[in-house]
Amino acid sequence: MPNNSILTPEKLLNGYAIGVFPMANSAHDDEIYWVEPKMRGIIPLDGFHISRSLKRALDKSDYEITFNTQFESVVRACANREETWINTTIFELYQKLHKMGSAHSIEVSRKNILIGGVYGITLGTAFFGESMFSTETNGSKIALAHLVKHLKQRGFNLFDTQFQNAHLKTLGCVEIPQSHYIKLLKSALIHKVTF
């Protein structure tokens, strides 16, 4: 595990490169710890599931998709919930990673109002999804659908969701052992693509 006595953006990226990621217990807890799940959630880029209701929402096209135009707003919205692992230190570190070109966001807006989004880290051909939010029905699902399409077009081959939950499972997220994940990660880090 990387030493997090003084956590820097570079140490964060080193953590992702060896298969761990940082979390805090709450927004008000200053301590940050590294997580290495025994089972890892990933969305196979060719296995993203679009339900009929999501397809209808996508087909309506009554929204605008942007990338990296509202990164700070997306992270704030992701942290704006009763239970969050995004504390002030993590928030500031990801802003620095964004300025370095290693953290990215996808935003869904309707009538110039942000209604959903996802943010994450890129290394090699891997995208590490950190968090997502939705203020309207299907906001985060629309963001994920467009993100998966974008990652495929750009040549990414690993979409790490860290954990699987009920919401992600409906979209095609699967769980794999960490040992299998590490093999996929090593392969994804060999090549480099741009987000």
Q: Which residues of 64-103 are buried (b: 16+ CB within 10 A; e: fewer)?
A: ebeeeebbeebbebbbeeeebbbbebbbebbeebbeeebb
Q: By the 8 A CB rule, do 105 and 128 touch?
A: no
pTM for the whole structure? 0.93
CA distance 79 to 86: 6
Residue 175's DSSP bridge partners are: 41
pLDDT at position 123 is 97
pLDDT at position 122 is 97
CA distance 21 to 14: 9
CA distance 20 to 34: 6
CB atoms closer than 10 angstroms to residue 159: 25
Instruction: Write out the chain's pLDDT in tens, 195 residues.
Output: 555 568 899 999 999 999 999 988 887 888 888 999 999 999 999 999 998 989 999 998 899 999 999 999 999 999 887 778 788 889 999 999 999 999 999 999 999 999 999 999 999 999 999 999 999 989 999 999 999 999 999 999 999 999 998 888 989 999 999 999 999 999 999 999 999
CA distance 123 to 187: 11
CA distance 147 to 116: 12
pLDDT at position 27 is 77
Q: By the 8 A CB rule, do 117 and 143 touch?
A: yes
Domain formed by 9-188, architecture: 3-Layer(aba) Sandwich (3.40)
pLDDT at position 84 is 80
Reading the block at residue 36, the tokens are 């290495």
pLDDT at position 194 is 94
Ranges assigned E (strand) in 84-125: 103-110, 113-123
